[in-house]
């Protein structure tokens, strides 16, 4: 069976993993039991060859298989056998018979058995590398030799175990671990696959934390028919669409496009003379991106590493000697990689974790090289981000401004397994207060309210505080129950009303009113300063919607809140629910069976 592996940022099919099914008919409980039995009988290599041939035949029936990767599992014990290398070479030969290069093949090394320390592992890996095969560390986060695989194993992918992905959106410890692993992998030039993604919330969390590819039932269930594998998955496209809009509003797209250089590439197996030609044509170019046969970024060739050969007395002659193997791979330098769809903060995080002297970042789209961002451009990007943040930040309260509020609304518009609350806060009777006591005291009241916001809503993961301008504020919270959020809002309003009363004269506090002029200049009396709150609740698992719809609804509630006795207006966003994703077992039931199943429930 084939299970799709999909690009996180575009929803496009990147490749498929071949999974073993049908073992139940042999009275075996799992594929691992089948492999154990084959090892006991001494036919493990023969079984691996059979499974590989069937997987490759199915893979070649996919649309555009030359643009995809086939992920094949390999039992670690196979590598310890004399015929282990022949098993892998046989898979490469089988691909070639179908007209595909070995670089379309990725071998998953399971942590079920110690792999790196097996006899002949390094020799086998190097031989496979020469043919262009790729390798992945499977079930990362569950085994015991993963770190050695990263440093010694020549790994191209990390597949994060489903244990770490399950409930990723709700577990801060898992988020911390996955984020660190993804950042570390990108620094080493590796791609990260999140396995076992079951929900949209976990998909969005994995994407946010830096995973490049996802696999799991949220994308698609394993299938036996290659023609059911889609080239693009609409559910993912819809989920990331709103995030792209948020990033565009924050200005990241503009910044990234200006920083990308579309440099000419060389392949690993090219002769180094090709790199010399590129450096000669582009006098100011200092690096050349290196890709494999299907265009995946693998590192850089640096002009400074070739200077000794360029300017040395016999350097060029030595490199051009036909008896020497002077390919680009000999001069390859590792470089961090990142998706071209990642936002500026993610790129800066990957670059910041790179070792000193890093030349920049290689960008990919669905695993294929699309451009390079130099270290100098990244420093400029960081400066521009900080400048925009400073311009957006309110100088009085040091809280984020309108751009950040719009970005938070875009985040809240995406479907989530957590409840979300958006709250627009606006002072009542602020003009007569300012007129009577002056703008300096008015600024003190604004600062007082900002401090009260921070007390009642400490800034942590899931809490956003914003200052829209003047006496208008914004609070956004993910993951808080409605009753607790309401209690905190009412406590905030009561706290501010009590503190603001201290600005008034004693007799004004006792009367509860002060004289002043309205906006038409007429004399009248006004109540004491208070704040109103318009709250929009978005229930957990609500479908996504337009961010402008959220802000429009909050603005509508604002006038209701100001007219109410307690200064609070509350609304729960109601959107039509979309049908839930069904499993193949559900689809296998005919109509009468579904009716009986429903009655039984």
Does 64 have pLDDT greater than 60? yes
Cα separation, 6 vs 8, whole angstroms: 6
pLDDT attached to residue 384? 75
The reply to whether 481 and 551 lie within a common domain is yes
Element spanning 120, H or E? none
More confident residue, 347 or 245: 347
pLDDT tier for residue 340 given thresholds of 50, 70 and 90:
confident
Over range 432-436, report the average pLDDT. 88
Does 544 have pLDDT greater than 70? no
**Residue 511 forms part of a structural domain:** no
Range of the domain at 368: 257-384
* Packing angle of the helix pair 344-353, 252-259 (nearest 10 deg): 50
**Residue 581 forms part of a structural domain:** no
Q: With contact defined as beta carbons under 8 Å apart, do 235 and 203 qualify?
A: no
**Range from 31-40, 154-163, 585-594 carrying the lowest mean pLDDT:** 585-594
CA-only gyration radius of the chain, Å: 30
Other beta carbons within 10 angstroms of residue 380's beta carbon come to 15
Q: With contact defined as beta carbons under 8 Å apart, do 267 and 291 qualify?
A: yes
Cα separation, 143 vs 152, whole angstroms: 16
Please tell me which of 124-138, 321-335, 440-454 the model is most confident about, judged by mean pLDDT: 440-454
Convert the pLDDT of each residue in 150-191 to its tens digit: 766 578 899 999 999 999 988 888 988 898 888 888 888 889
Candidates 583, 231, 218; CA nearest to 415 is: 218
The reply to whether 377 and 422 lie within a common domain is no
pLDDT tier for residue 41 given thresholds of 50, 70 and 90:
confident
Convert the pLDDT of each residue in 249-285 to its tens digit: 445 566 677 788 999 999 988 888 888 889 888 878 8
pLDDT attached to residue 311? 62
**Range from 90-104, 383-397, 497-511 carrying the lowest mean pLDDT:** 383-397
Cα separation, 21 vs 1, whole angstroms: 7
pLDDT tier for residue 71 given thresholds of 50, 70 and 90:
very high
Of 206, 239, 272, the residue at which a domain comes to its end is 239
The reply to whether 234 and 270 lie within a common domain is no
Q: With contact defined as beta carbons under 8 Å apart, do 177 and 159 qualify?
A: no
Candidates 417, 12, 17; CA nearest to 196 is: 17
51: left (phi over 0), alpha (psi -120 to 50) or beta: alpha
Does 106 have pLDDT greater than 90? yes
The reply to whether 234 and 94 lie within a common domain is yes
pLDDT attached to residue 592? 38
Does 10 have pLDDT greater than 50? yes
Q: Which residues of 185-221 are buried (b: 16+ CB within 10 A; e: fewer)?
A: bbbbbbbbbbbbbbbbbbbbbbbbbbbbbbbbebbbb
Convert the pLDDT of each residue in 186-237 to its tens digit: 888 889 999 999 998 899 889 888 899 999 999 999 988 888 899 888 878 7
Distant-in-sequence, close-in-space partners of 102: CB < 8 Å, separation ≥ 6 = 92, 95, 96, 128, 131, 132, 133
pLDDT tier for residue 317 given thresholds of 50, 70 and 90:
low
Over range 341-349, report the average pLDDT. 76
Domain of 548, CATH number, reads: 3.30.70.270
* Burial grade of 421 (CB within 10 A; 0-12, 13-18, 19 or more): buried
- Percent above pLDDT 70 for the chain: 83
Cα separation, 320 vs 571, whole angstroms: 74
Q: With contact defined as beta carbons under 8 Å apart, do 40 and 228 qualify?
A: no
**Residue 165, CA distances (Å) to 108, 161, 208, 550 in order:** 18, 7, 13, 29
Over range 507-528, report the average pLDDT. 86
Of 352, 384, 416, the residue at which a domain comes to its end is 384
Does 23 have pLDDT greater than 70? no
CA torsion through residues 37, 39, 42, 47, sign: positive
Residue listed under structure tokens 């310890």 = 80
The reply to whether 141 and 290 lie within a common domain is no
Domain of 199, CATH number, reads: 3.20.20.450
Convert the pLDDT of each residue in 491-510 to its tens digit: 999 999 999 999 998 888 88
**Range from 298-312, 441-455, 478-492 carrying the lowest mean pLDDT:** 298-312
pLDDT attached to residue 578? 42
109: left (phi over 0), alpha (psi -120 to 50) or beta: beta
**Residue 578 forms part of a structural domain:** no
**Residue 600 forms part of a structural domain:** no
**Residue 564 forms part of a structural domain:** yes
DSSP state at residue 158: E
Distant-in-sequence, close-in-space partners of 467: CB < 8 Å, separation ≥ 6 = 394, 396, 397, 399, 400, 401, 450, 473, 474
**Residue 494, CA distances (Å) to 452, 453, 485, 497, 570 in order:** 10, 12, 14, 5, 17
**Residue 136 forms part of a structural domain:** yes
| Average of per-residue pLDDT values in the chain | 82
Does 522 have pLDDT greater than 80? yes
Candidates 290, 552, 323, 528; CA nearest to 429 is: 528
More confident residue, 417 or 318: 417
Helix (H, G, I), strand (E, B) or coil at 437: helix
Other beta carbons within 10 angstroms of residue 397's beta carbon come to 20
The reply to whether 235 and 269 lie within a common domain is no
Element spanning 436, H or E? helix 430-437
The reply to whether 411 and 377 lie within a common domain is no
**Residue 342 forms part of a structural domain:** yes
Please tell me which of 151-155, 379-383, 531-535 the model is most confident about, judged by mean pLDDT: 531-535
**Residue 358 forms part of a structural domain:** yes
Cα separation, 46 vs 87, whole angstroms: 8
- Percent above pLDDT 90 for the chain: 32
More confident residue, 170 or 564: 564
Name the β-bridge partners of 364. 339, 369
Does 561 have pLDDT greater than 80? yes
Could you report how far apart the first and last alpha carbons of the chain are, in Å? 31
Domain of 314, CATH number, reads: 3.10.580.10
Of 209, 239, 269, the residue at which a domain comes to its end is 239
pLDDT attached to residue 321? 62
The reply to whether 379 and 452 lie within a common domain is no
The reply to whether 268 and 168 lie within a common domain is no
Convert the pLDDT of each residue in 127-148 to its tens digit: 888 888 999 988 887 765 556 6
What six digits make up the tokens of 182? 């993804």
The reply to whether 400 and 464 lie within a common domain is yes
* Packing angle of the helix pair 44-59, 31-41 (nearest 10 deg): 140
The reply to whether 84 and 202 lie within a common domain is yes
The reply to whether 321 and 219 lie within a common domain is no
pTM for this one?
0.58
Q: Count of domains in the chain?
A: 3
pLDDT tier for residue 582 given thresholds of 50, 70 and 90:
very low
């Amino acid at each position: 069976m084939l299970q799709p592996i999909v690009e996180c940022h575009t929803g496009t099919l990147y490749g498929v993993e071949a999974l073993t099914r049908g073992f139940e008919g042999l009275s075996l409980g799992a594929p691992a039991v089948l492999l154990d039995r084959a090892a006991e009988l001494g036919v493990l290599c023969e079984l691996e060859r059979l499974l590989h041939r069937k997987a490759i035949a199915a893979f070649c029936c996919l649309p555009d298989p030359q643009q995809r990767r086939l992920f094949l599992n390999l039992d670690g014990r196979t590598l310890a056998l004399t015929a282990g290398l022949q098993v892998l070479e046989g898979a490469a030969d089988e691909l070639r018979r179908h007209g595909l290069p070995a670089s379309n093949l990725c071998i998953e090394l399971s942590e079920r058995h110690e792999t790196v320390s097996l006899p002949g592992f390094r020799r086998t890996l190097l031989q496979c590398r020469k043919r262009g095969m790729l390798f992945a560390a499977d079930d990362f986060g569950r085994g015991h030799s993963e770190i050695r695989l990263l440093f010694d194993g020549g790994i191209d992918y990390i597949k994060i175990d489903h244990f770490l992905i399950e409930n990723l959106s709700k577990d801060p410890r898992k988020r911390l671990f996955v984020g660190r692993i993804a950042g570390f992998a990108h620094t080493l030039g590796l791609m990260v696959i999140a396995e076992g993604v079951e929900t949209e919330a976990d998909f969005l969390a994995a994407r946010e934390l830096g995973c490049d590819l996802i696999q799991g039932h949220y994308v698609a269930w394993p299938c036996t028919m290659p023609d059911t594998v889609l080239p693009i998955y609409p559910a993912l496209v819809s989920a990331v669409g709103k995030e792209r809009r948020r990033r565009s509003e924050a200005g990241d797209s503009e910044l990234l496009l200006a920083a990308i250089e579309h440099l000419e590439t060389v392949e690993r197996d090219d002769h180094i003379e090709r790199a010399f030609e590129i450096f000669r044509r582009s006098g100011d170019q200092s690096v050349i991106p290196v890709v494999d046969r299907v265009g995946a970024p693998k590192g850089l060739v640096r002009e400074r590493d070739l200077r000794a050969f360029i300017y040395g007395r016999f350097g060029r002659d030595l490199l051009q000697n036909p008896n020497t193997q002077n390919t680009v791979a000999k001069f390859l330098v590792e470089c961090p990689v990142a998706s071209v769809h990642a936002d500026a903060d993610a790129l800066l995080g990957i670059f910041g974790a790179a070792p000193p002297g890093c030349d920049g970042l290689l960008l990919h789209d669905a695993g294929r090289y699309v451009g390079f961002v130099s270290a100098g451009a990244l420093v400029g990007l960081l400066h521009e981000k900080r400048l925009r943040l400073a311009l957006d930040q309110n100088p009085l309260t040091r809280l984020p401004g309108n751009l950040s509020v719009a970005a938070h609304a875009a985040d809240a518009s995406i479907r989530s397994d957590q409840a979300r609350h958006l709250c627009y806060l606006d002072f009542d009777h602020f003009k007569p207060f300012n007129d009577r006591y002056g703008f300096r005291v008015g600024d003190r009241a604004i600062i007082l309210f900002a401090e009260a916001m921070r007390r009642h809503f400490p800034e942590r993961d899931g809490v956003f505080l914003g200052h829209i301008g003047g006496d208008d504020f914004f609070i956004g919270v993910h993951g808080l129950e409605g009753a607790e959020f309401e209690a905190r809002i009412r406590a905030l309003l009561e706290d501010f009303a009590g503190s603001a009363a201290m600005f008034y004269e004693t007799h004004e506090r006792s009367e509860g009113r002060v004289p002043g002029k309205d906006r038409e200049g007429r004399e009248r009396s006004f109540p004491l300063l208070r704040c109103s709150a318009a709250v929009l609740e978005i229930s957990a698992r609500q479908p996504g919607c337009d961010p402008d719809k959220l802000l429009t609804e909050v603005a509508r509630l604002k006038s209701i809140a100001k007219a109410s006795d307690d200064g609070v207006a509350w609304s729960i966003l109601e959107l039509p629910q979309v049908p839930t994703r069904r499993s193949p077992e559900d689809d296998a039931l005919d109509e009468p069976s579904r009716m009986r199943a429903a009655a039984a429930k």
